[in-house]
């Protein structure tokens, strides 16, 4: 496709349920990021992949959050035992090369997760 695709677009989960959010980056993009955007806030970094390697997961808020990119393309962000504070928009972004300080990212439209 032409851009970064995320699914589902909206997800409602009952507290305690597990959820899986999918990201299809632009074909051939090496770098992939997940960000969390709480209501009224800017996106906050969660994790970074370079191909299939997860090089940085320092932004994951707890061990309930897990991300993978097993074949270096599609990525899944999984949240176990969801809590209300997990309600946010989860953004995926990709870029063609290795990250440097000047390269912009291509963002998907995000998945809005609501935990009830």
The residue behind tokens 């291509």 is: 106
Structure tokens given for 2: 């032409």
Nearer to other proteins, 14 or 102 (CB): 102
The residue behind tokens 């992949």 is: 49
Strand partners, 92: 34
Per CB under 8 A, 45 contacts other proteins: yes
Nearer to other proteins, 70 or 104 (CB): 104
Considering only residues 55 to 84 of the shown chain, the ones binding other proteins according to CB under 8 A are: 56, 59
74-102 in b/e form (b: 16+ CB < 10 A) is ebebebeebeeebbbbbbbbbbeeeeeee
Per CB under 8 A, 91 contacts other proteins: yes
Nearer to other proteins, 35 or 65 (CB): 35
Per CB under 8 A, 114 contacts other proteins: no
Residue ranges that bind other proteins, judged by CB under 8 A = 3-4, 31, 33, 35, 40-45, 48, 56, 59, 91, 93, 98-102, 104-105, 107-110
């Amino acid at each position: 496709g032409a851009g970064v695709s995320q699914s589902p677009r909206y997800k409602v989960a009952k507290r305690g349920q597990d959820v899986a959010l999918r990201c299809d980056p632009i074909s051939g993009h090496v770098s992939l990021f997940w960000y969390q955007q709480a209501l009224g806030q800017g996106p906050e970094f969660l994790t970074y992949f370079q191909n299939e390697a997860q090089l940085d997961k320092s932004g994951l808020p707890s061990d309930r959050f897990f991300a993978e990119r097993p074949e270096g393309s599609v990525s899944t962000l999984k949240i176990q035992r969801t809590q209300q504070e997990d309600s946010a928009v989860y953004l995926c972004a990709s870029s063609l090369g290795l990250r440097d300080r000047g390269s912009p990212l291509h963002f998907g439209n995000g998945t809005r997760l609501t935990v009830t």
